Amino acid sequence: MDKVGRVLIEEEALNKRIKELGMEITRDFQGKKLVMVGILKGAVVFMSDLAKHIKLPLEMDFMAVSSYGASTKSSGVVRILKDLDLEVEDKDVLIVEDIVDTGLTLHYLCDYLLSRKPNSLKVCSCFDKPSRRKIPVTIDYLGFEIPDEFVIGYGLDYDQKYRNLPYVSVLELEKDDK
Ligand code: IMP
Ligand code: MG
């Protein structure tokens, strides 16, 4: 765990905010056909916690798109690795993302999901790094805005590790990793 730097968001703060988001979503999606579409793998931890606070009937689906490899820089290339299993036409889709950074992934996903003709499309992201944006995107439900630092934990990985940390930390690379 030598790469886990200072804690940015504690477990208690995460739990509190996610409960609030669940209540907001519960209020806004009354009478709708909610389908949560989680983006693998980063959103898994957030989505399962969030879903428990949404007191409505809902469906869950997942998509996987190419993202970072073992590097902390975005390739800017988005490719679908796993498509939806469910039909979302005329349903109320809520994209559940871990973090919006450049916005490239989310921009692509919104375009793609709109082509499946949902009744509505909204976005919920646990974290946002607005200073890194390359393309404008709308986040309807946001957990936390964070500074331009590479973070790990609560679903977020570095080289596929640290997703299971129950808090969010800053990644601390040793000199020879950089
Ligand atoms: P974007 O397309 O640049 O907005 O990148 C979005 C994806 O990059 C997220 O869904 C994450 O998987 C990954 N990502 C961006 N910033 C971080 C970070 O600080 N830690 C871990 N993963 C990140
Ligand atoms: Mg992601």
Contact yes or no for 63/39 (Cβ under 8 A): yes
Q: What is the pLDDT of residues 39-74, one digit of tens each?
A: 999 999 999 999 999 999 999 999 999 864 445 555
Q: pTM of the prediction?
A: 0.93
Residue 3 CA: which ligand is closest? 1
Atom of ligand 1 at shortest range from CA of 129: 16
Kindly give the parts of the chain with pLDDT less than 70.
1-2, 67-77, 175-178
Residue 77: predicted pLDDT: 63
- Which CATH number fits the domain 4-177, given the four candidates 3.40.50.2020, 3.90.1150.10, 3.40.50.970, 1.10.10.10? 3.40.50.2020
HSE value, Cβ hemisphere, 13 Å, CA-based, for 109: 33
Residue 158: predicted pLDDT: 95
Gap between the Cα atoms of 77 and 31, Å rounded: 37
Mean pLDDT of all residues belonging to the chain: 93
CA of 38 to the centre of ligand 2 (A): 9
Which DSSP helix (H) or strand (E) runs through 96? Answer: strand 92-100
Gap between the Cα atoms of 160 and 178, Å rounded: 17
Domain extents in the chain: 4-177
